[in-house]
Amino acid sequence: MSLSYSVQSQVGLRPNNEDAAYSGPRLLALADGMGGAAAGEVAASLVISELAPLDQQPVGDPLGALREATRRGNAAIADHVAANPEHEGMGTTLTALLFAGDNVGLIHVGDSRAYLMRDGSLSQITRDDTFIQYLIDEGRLTYEDAWNHPQRSMVLKVLTGREVEPSVKTLQAKPRDRYLICSDGLSDYVPLDAISDALSLPDPQRCTQALIRLALQRGSQDNITSIVADVVGGESGYNIAILTGAAGRDATLVRV
């Protein structure tokens, strides 16, 4: 099995793009930086730079490889802040999938999201590390009420250079699976049914374009990034990686 994929990132109404995204033959990764003047785009780019080499060759333990690369990315943030104390407080989310045949490692910290569409049914496969999700888990808030909650942007866990334990899981990929990774500039504004409709389009590139357009139409105030990847039988012919957002400024192609 292999991947057919597309990624698109838009700055939206923000002055710069703090999302960093990578899409390649084995690795899909998105880091949404935060910190504004504290250089969230630097944090996001540092983490993606540590994950990108995982795409160079197959790995036997995708989950272990993701854990180690994330640890290095978090350490790179700590080193950067030590050398640039004015950037104290910068951080980034991370959501990444690493494929090894039909074995898929998923690592997640923050409020970017990953979804799986299988047999026409869409499900969220990450859990938001947010105050809102905590309230929902406690039964003190409904998903419907969460859309208008004043603290819906409060993230409880991100990569800042300090010790943190990401969420991890192993998935089994099947042909015709479709994966979406997106930043909260999309998921905070576009409801699940509209995301599902956009993901029903036949081509991953059309899906990413439709998702970005939906977020803009619904008034997204944030950077907007979406990665859509299809699991296909045999070889997809894709031997390039696409870096975009803070990772690539304009989209950059890299042979892997």
CA atoms within 13 A on the CB side of 72: 14
Residue among 228, 231, 251, 255 at smallest CA distance from 241: 255
For residue 190, list its beta bridge partners: none
Provide the token pair at 151.
Answer: 């603290």
Q: At what angle do helices 40-51 and 62-83 cross, to 10 degrees?
A: 140
pLDDT by residue for the chain (256 residues), tens only, comes to 789 999 999 988 787 899 999 999 999 999 999 976 568 999 999 999 999 999 988 899 999 999 999 999 999 999 999 999 999 999 999 999 999 989 999 999 999 999 999 999 999 999 999 887 778 777 777 766 666 666 666 789 999 999 999 999 999 999 999 999 999 999 999 999 999 999 999 999 999 999 999 999 999 989 999 999 999 987 766 678 888 888 887 778 777 7
In the block, residue with structure tokens 């990764």 = 29
Provide the token pair at 4.
Answer: 């057919």
CATH of domain 2-255: 3.60.40.10
